[in-house]
Amino acid sequence: MKVKDKSSLFNRKIVIEATKESFIKLNPVVLVKNPVIFIVGLGAVLTMVIVIAGSMKGNFSGFNLQISIWLWFTVLFANFSEAIAEGRGKAQAESLKKNRTQTKARKLNGSSEISIFATELKKGDLVICEAGDVIPSDGEVVEGVASVDESAITGESAPVIRESGGDRSAVTGGTKVISDRIVIKITSEPGNTFIDRMIALVEGAKRQKTPNEIALSILLSGLSVIFLLAVVTLPAFFGYALKASGLSPSQNLTLPVLIALLVCLIPTTIGGLLSAIGISGMDRLLQRNVIATSGRAIEAAGDVDVLLLDKTGTITLGNRMATDFIPADGVSVEELADAAQLSSLSDETPEGRSIVVLAKEKFNIRGRDITNLHAVFIPFTAQSRMSGVDLKAKNGTVQKIRKGSSEAIRSFIHDNNGFFPQKIKDIVEELARQGATPLVVAENEKVLGIVHLKDIVKGGIKQRFAELRKMGIKTVMITGDNSLTAAAIAAEAGVDDFMAEAKPEDKLRRIREEQANGHLVGMIGDGTNDAPALAQADIGIAMNSGTQAAREAGNMVDLDSNPTKLIEVVEVGKQLLMTRGALTTFSIANDVAKYFAIIPAIAVSLYAGSSGVGPLALLNVMKLGSPESAILSAIIFNALIIVLLIPLALKGVRYRPVPANVALTRNLLVYGLGGIMAPFVGIKLIDMLINF
């Protein structure tokens, strides 16, 4: 799915809808899901009742009205933060809904086919799709191979190959076949396709609070109850202080002032932003074309400290590439390159194409007109283990050029009464020990040399693993190669450890061992044989191009089918945890600072007395204008700070690959110290405006 307007935090349409939702969320049934904001809402209702009751008795209080208005604003701003995060997700869901069409399906009914609507398909049905057809529902290719346009899902215009019998058999409803013919077995019931689940997740309809989010909500609720009990006892203490000072008991704390005090003391800032942080975490993951089936998976990604990665396609490009020509004695390297290129002209494998490219780059040997060569190409087979070309000269002689495994070429040479040099055998063995693949090239009875094929490590992957190491994350490469090959590639890629000759049960066992040692494990996979390991891992990322079993086993799906995406997922998870931690620190630090503004102001008479200087006047360290303006300034700041922090909640705290202690120290300095200083500056400025 192509995500639009990634850089824009706010969109006019989204803001308008979020504003409407802010009022809809005032419904007590919805509001009670956020206990902290629910308390603020109750306070707003009580103060409004007090204002109305006083007005009816001819005792209107503008001070109480202002408290009530700003309490309502606090609730609305908190609702707005959640609604704006949900709105961004819903906007992305709309782009997905546009891709859903009332597609007709060609269902196989025995030996014939019938045309039905896609919504009538059931799990297990077989459908035919040819060039130009829209795939009607999720399924697996059981016959044929075809190019599929998945731009409706991934946003990428380049077609992908989907074929039966491998790890690239899964197809998604709503995508389009652009060549050939395939038979698909439907794997989803109507209304439960991949796109349907994506829409539900993106819209937040199935979003559940994560364990950390629930735990923090319980903590915030507990703090709120403690402060509520503390505030309830204050009238008794201040009543005693008034009596001891010889002041009238009627000057004791009023209910609106007590409510204002409570709202300023409880962690309203993080309470108002908590849901937005969780929703935006899923949004940021979606911007990277990764769908998480739960917020819990994103959180777990932030705590992962062991990553298991397949070698092929993940650490390496997945295709062996020609890197060098090694000639035999008495043969020039140009002669070897020319013969290797001729034998590869009709070879459409990545290895064959790389030989042609290498010959062109090194010796400027370009392609030739095959028809003029009177060439007969010999395709590669599993039995022969070699390929090549027969060139017929004008005199009738045939030039037989072959490339293949050492054993296959040795047999070819012997059949032509030739000699296989010992030096070539030694080079073949050495390359094999290094993890490379040697292709021997021969012409008739003569060995020309060796083409050095190598599984190329992806560019920049070593640097990315170094970044993970800085985060304290251990990387483990998994491969079916022998130990020598695995060790060579592991050293080049810079992974911390590797598993050679690994079977599916070995992957599962390794994950369980790491988890038993207290580690959180992440892994990626695309095949049916990866499904058990994906299900066992704390974070299992399935490739969208993989099998249906793999997609169902993982708790994340990478729409781009890019295995290195795991690194970005970890970064998003860590950013989510850091953002929640930073804003929680800021919120609590805010509360500490607000004490100095609100506590000396709540006891109006003790604060100033009739002479302007009371017993608590020394507590007025901020030199605020009056008790009333101090209370109002604190309430206004408490409401506005939520609005100011919405962009940070949506965008997230910037993540840097540094050790946890360094990140913690930085966040305490920035958000802890900043959280203490901000109220002093903000409340003072608001107080100056009020008293201007």
Active site residues: 310
Residue type for position 309: L
Question: Residue 199, class by beta-carbon neighbours within 10 Å (0-12 exposed, 13-18 middle, 19+ buried)?
Answer: buried
CA-nearest of 121, 111, 116, 128 to 193 is 121
Whether the CA torsion 443, 445, 451, 453 is positive or negative: it is: positive
Quote the CA–CA distance of 116 and 106 in Å, as a whole number: 7
Distance CA 345, CA 356 (A): 7
> Which segments of 379-487 are extended strands (E)?
386-392, 398-404, 437-443, 446-457, 474-478
Residue 242: how many CA atoms within 13 Å on its side-chain side?
Answer: 17
- Burial group, residue 329, by CB count within 10 angstroms (0-12, 13-18, 19+): exposed
Tell me the C-alpha distance between 51 and 66, whole Å.
Answer: 10
Q: How far is Cα 135 from Cα 128, in angstroms, rounded to an integer?
A: 9
The string of DSSP codes covering 81-100 is: HHHHHHHHHHHHHHHHHTT-
Token reading at 345: 């002209």
Q: Which residue has the tokens 């809904």?
A: 97
475 CA to centre of own chain: 18
Cα torsion 212, 216, 218, 219: sign = positive
Please give the Cα distance from 78 to 276 (Å, whole number): 9
CA 421, 422, 425, 431 torsion-angle sign: negative
Q: How far is CA 660 from CA 338, 515, 574, in A?
A: 56, 20, 10
Q: 296 vs 83, 330, 532, CA distance in Å?
A: 21, 65, 19
Distance from C-alpha of 278 to C-alpha of 290, rounded to nearest angstrom? 16
**Any bridge partners for residue 56, and if so which?**
none
